[in-house]
Structure 1
Amino acid sequence: MQTTIAAIATPLGTGGLGVVRLSGPRAYEIAARVFVPLSGRDIRRQKGYTALLGRVERTLPNGGREMLDQAVALFFRAPKSYTGEDAVELSCHGGVAVLQETLRALLDAGAELAGPGEFSKRAVLAGKMTLTQAEGVMDLINAQTRQGAAAALSAMDGRLYRHAAAIRADLVDLAAHLAAYVDYPDEDIPQLEEGVLSDRLQQAADQLSALLQSFDTGSMIRNGIDTAIVGKPNVGKSTLMNLLAGYQRSIVTQVPGTTRDVVEDRVQLGEVTLNLADTAGIRETDDLVEQLGVQRSREKLERAQLVLALFDGSVPLDEEDRQLLSQIGDKPCIAVINKQDKAQRLDVEAVRVQIPDLVTMSAREERGVEELEQAILRKLRLERIDLQNGLLINERQRQATSRAAARVVDGLDALRAGMTYDAVAVEIDEAIAALSELTGESAGEQVIDAVFANFCVGK
């Protein structure tokens, strides 16, 4: 028999309201031992989608009762609940002690403490949502930007699931036709023309390739953009870091080489989240400590998803600037011409030849931040994200899609090499299995456990 679980469903802290959630076959029975309606009703017979005002109480060792809070109980009847089970939610006052004592009372009354994401896990196992929708729930909880919330909502709305399911359905149709033709040669089953089979496999390959390309966008929205601020010493890297972070994150002085190691922080810049690294000034130096910092700066430059290359607009380009321009290569990069509060001597067009995306600003006077945000959105193509087919937002989804894409391509290669339809069908079946794992229909217990291990308790 399924256990009845309980957990605090809202963040612990001081607030007007906090919710303790109870779900399982004994939810009403256990709630009745803790919640006493002011109306005197027997809540074990309470209808779903109703609410009652009452007291939260616990039983003392001597048999007496102690009031913990006044609360509103919301009731849900299976299967019309989030988990598909009977469920009760107690909306208490939002103090930490109140919520913890209410949860303890429910556990003492017979409930078991929910594991991470167990409510959503039960919803998936009950068919109330798909695995990709459940992952969208967690992303919505963690979303810090409008774009992040929109991407999570598209997953919750089932767009990724429907897109993957449509590709899978077409592959299933192909597999069924091939199987019927191969297994029943004496039946009057028309042969699937090679050209038609090739076209449909190519269409699936193209769709899966486009889905894989969405992973980088989804990952940046979900996890933030690994961004390196680079430049020679004393161009204003640390001042920019502090401006974007909103506080004194890096030490700022007039002495070149002050920053001798990589200083990192996660900052919110309008609609994007930057995993920002203020690097040591890239230059040749005899200082051993600074050399180590410069080496780490070069490593950050290599791994960055986005580079903000800073130049001092008040001085002409020099050899150190030119070396930086040559080291950036084909990395996604925005040139930031800083110190616009001073007389300008930099040859901006010489920089633009190497880095077409360019903004001017004064980090000291906090001018140009909005222009920098818009430049980042344009550079990474985040200003208009197409969520029609959903986005791949985590490594599990990427790996399943990658396996499906590889198998479809293998099937195409087998077909073009003149191999039998049996060989092609094997590859199609493997692609179908990978897509079923993506959507959750055939995801094993270990996969499902791994997904919900990252959820918060209470969701």
Structure 2
Amino acid sequence: MQSMDTIAAVATPLGTGGIGVVRLSGPEAAAVADRVVRLAGGKTVAGMKGYTCAYGRAGDADGEIDEAVVTLFRAPRSFTGEEVVEIAVHGGVYLVNRLLRACVAAGARPALAGEFTRRAFLNGKLDLTQAEAVADLISAEGRQAARAALSARDGALYRRAEAAADALTGYAAHLAAWIDYPEEEIAEVDPAKLGGGLRRCEGDLAGLLGTYDTGRIIREGISAAIVGRPNVGKSTLMNLLAGHARSIVTDIAGTTRDIVSDTIRLGEIVLHLSDTAGIRGTDDPVERAGVDLAVGELARAQLVLAVFDGSDALDENDLRVIRCCKDAVCIALVNKNDLPQRLDMEVIRENFAHIVTLSAKSAEGADALKKKIEELFLLERFDPSAAVVANERQRAAVADALAEVREAADALEAGVSYDAVCVCIERAVDALLTLTGRRATQEVVDQVFSRFCVGK
């Protein structure tokens, strides 16, 4: 346990609701609560049994604040590992803020962002990957993202990292003992057996690292740009996917001149979607600026939805769009399939590996688009219950461990001394312990908790 002061923060969203909760954590949590809440029947918070609730009246120097329900969690069996008290009042902004001020006046300190979860980490209740999963759970925008974060919170990534670290520690310990104590009766190092073990660890870490791209997409969503020449139905498609009139739709070419953005959910897929100006040659400086923005958005997007009018022949502006999409991850959308088709599909097939025909006006083909995106980003094979590398810090740690294990295996096969092999293995273990936080620096810990909200 860490010896710390007592902190307080509002643990519920700011606004009007059924209840509002102020959370206290620290050695004086119960004492502070007793200074703020008068329990019914003369009871005290300090005298309550853990994991029980009691009714009372909260007040401060100016008088009563509200009715209150107090819940006590005894150390070390609490989220933070410390004494934790939660005081619930009616969920009004004024009431909750006044209650928080009363707790601070009674001896608590306002909590910093993420300080409750940080204390849980420092007190050994969570490893660093589990702490990061708490933030991911809060920010999850879809079912798969929430399930993946919950699996990480339950220790899926931690267990996999610890298993690899334990195996590598065993190899390093055997090598060190063999090198340093040749006169002792220590089992001789078997290069083939050691090499096989290192290659298995390499494969396991490579598989773990391979979860990063898909996991990041599940967690953060996909940045997608809708592009095409004017009047092919880009804005109609934007409105279809957004579920409401997000972009202006007219028959006048060049209506959209700026980028219109929205975050939408297509099944379990979160798209950060941008509708762009029609790409064409123009002498209008304002429209030309919009075209430049569209081309820039296309270059930055993880996914490009290139829209073509199936009821019209390809023109030079369509060909310009095709050239712009050459190096992008792209799905060609042949729109207006409810009209007689005049588009040369052979040209589309020659330039795009992924094609969907649809009618943005009637929504026919929207399911096919969803399925195509899932296939393109391997989302249909994503297992949210498995260990997933969730952020750049975790990716860097796994990548470092993988590189060191690979170097150790290569060195062993090349006949390099066991000393050098052992050094590589030890560096791999260090990287994995950094991943879980067992050897995290203060800078790393600060970085992890900097993105948390106050009260969590």
Q: Which residue of 1 aligns with 2:299?
A: 302
Distance in 2 between residues matched to 1:207 and 1:283, nearest whole Å: 49
**Partner of 2:450 in structure 1?**
453
Note closer, same or farther for the CA distance 1:211–1:314 as it changes in structure 2 (3 Å cut). Answer: same
Alignment partner, residue 19 of structure 2: 17
Q: Secondary structure at the match of 2:381?
A: coil
Distance (whole Å) between structure 1 residues aligned to residue 198 and residue 295 of structure 2? 43
After superposition, the Cα gap between the structure-2 partners of 1:277 and 1:317, relative to the gap in structure 1 and judged at 3 Å, is same
How far apart are the structure 2 equivalents of 1:356 and 1:75? 59
Which whole-Å deviations, capped at 9, do the CAs of 1:334-363 have from their partners, x for residues lacking one? 222212333322244553454343323222
Structure 1 segments (4+ residues) deviating >6 Å: none
| Alignment correspondent of 1:4 | 6
SS at match of 1:43: coil
**Sequence identity of aligned pairs in percent?**
52
CA distance in 2, matches of 1:148, 1:400: 22
Paired residue type of 1:137: V
Unpaired segments ≥5 residues, structure 2: none
Contact kept? 1:163, 1:389, Cα under 8 Å: no
Counterpart residue identity of residue 439, structure 2 = S
Name 2:136's counterpart in structure 1. 139
CA offset at residue 216 of structure 1? 0.9
- Matched to 1:155, the amino acid is A
Deviates more, 1:35-44 or 1:276-285: 276-285
Cα separation, 1, equivalents of 2:384 and 2:183: 47
Tell me by how many angstroms 1:102 deviates.
0.7
Query: After the TM superposition, which residues 321-332 of structure 1 pair with which residues of structure 2 at under 5 Å, given as runs?
Result: 321-329=318-326, 331-332=328-329
Distance in 2 separating the partners of 1:344 and 1:376: 24
User: Counterparts in 2 of 1:243-392, with a 5 A limit?
Assistant: 243-329=240-326, 331-348=328-345, 350-392=347-389
- Residues 419-434 of structure 1 aligned to structure 2 (within 5 Å): 419-434=416-431
Structure 2 residue matching 1:219: 3-state secondary structure: helix
**What is aligned with 2:41?**
39
Q: Distance in 2 between matches of 1:325 and 1:246?
A: 28
Structure-1 separation of matches of 2:243 and 2:12: 28
Q: Measure the CA separation in 1 of the matches of 2:233 and 2:122.
A: 54
CA distance in 2, matches of 1:299, 1:415: 48
Distance 1:383 1:173 in 2: 37
Instruction: Tell me the equivalent position of 2:205.
Output: 208
For 1:196 and 1:426, the matched residues in 2 are separated by 18
Alignment of 1:406-445 (within 5 A): 406-445=403-442
List per-residue Cα deviations over 1:204-247 (Å, max 9, x = no partner). 22222222221111111121101111222211112222332334
1:325 Cα deviation after fit: 3.4
Contact kept, 8 Å, 2:148 with 2:385, in 1: the verdict is no
Cα contact 2:145–2:384 (8 A) shared by 1: no
Question: What SS does structure 2 have at the residue aligned with 1:45?
Answer: coil
Q: TM-score, normalised by structure 1?
A: 0.94
Q: Secondary structure at the match of 1:16?
A: strand
Greater displacement, 360-369 / 209-218: 360-369
Report the CA distance between 1:33 and its aligned residue.
0.7
The normalised TM-score by structure 2 is 0.94
Give the counterpart letter for 2:126 in structure 1. Answer: M
Distance in 1, Cα, partners of 2:72 & 2:263: 40
Structure 1 segments unaligned to the other structure (5+ residues): 61-65
Aligned length: 454
Native 8 Å contact 1:4 1:23 kept in 2: yes
RMSD: 1.9
Could you tell me how far apart the structure 1 residues matched to 2:56 and 2:123 are?
Answer: 31
Among residues 120, 124, 128, which one is paired with 2:125 in the alignment?
Answer: 128
Query: For residues 93 and 333 of structure 1, what CA distance do their matches in structure 2 show?
Result: 51
Q: Alpha-carbon deviations, 1:416-452, whole Å to 9, x = none?
A: 3321111111111111111101011111111111111
Please state how far the C-alpha of 1:317 moved relative to its aligned partner.
3.0
Of stretches 257-266 and 181-190 in structure 1, the one that deviates more from structure 2 is 257-266
Q: Which letter does structure 1 place at the counterpart of 2:172?
A: A
8 Å Cα contact 1:228/1:279 also seen in 2: yes
Alpha-carbon distance in structure 1 between the residues aligned to 2:275 and 2:183: 71
Tell me which moved more, 356-365 or 413-422.
Answer: 356-365
Q: Is this contact kept in 2: 1:211–1:392, CA < 8 A?
A: yes
Residue equivalent to 1:63 = none
Q: How much does 1:28 deviate?
A: 0.6
* Deviates further, 143-152 or 268-277: 268-277
How far apart in 2 are the matches of 1:374 and 1:38? 59
CA distance in 2, matches of 1:201, 1:416: 11
Please say if residues 152 and 158 of structure 2, whose CA atoms lie closer than 8 Å, have aligned partners that are also in contact.
yes
The answer (yes or no) to whether the contact 1:34–1:57 under 8 Å persists in 2 is yes
Q: Which moved more, 1:335-344 or 1:39-48?
A: 335-344
Structure 1 residues 113-141: Cα deviation after superposition (integer angstroms, max 9, x where no partner): 00011111111111111111111111111
* Residue identity opposite 1:381 in structure 2: L
Structure 1 counterpart of 2:88, which letter? Answer: S
SS at structure 1 position matched to 2:380: coil
CA distance in 2, matches of 1:413, 1:323: 48
| CA-CA distance at 1:388 after TM superposition | 4.6
Structure 1 SS opposite 2:195: helix
Which has the higher mean CA deviation after the structures are superposed, 295-304 or 120-129?
A: 295-304
Q: Is the 8 A contact 2:225 2:274 kept in 1?
A: yes
Measure the CA separation in 2 of the matches of 1:173 and 1:339.
63
**Displacement of 1:285 after TM fit?**
3.3
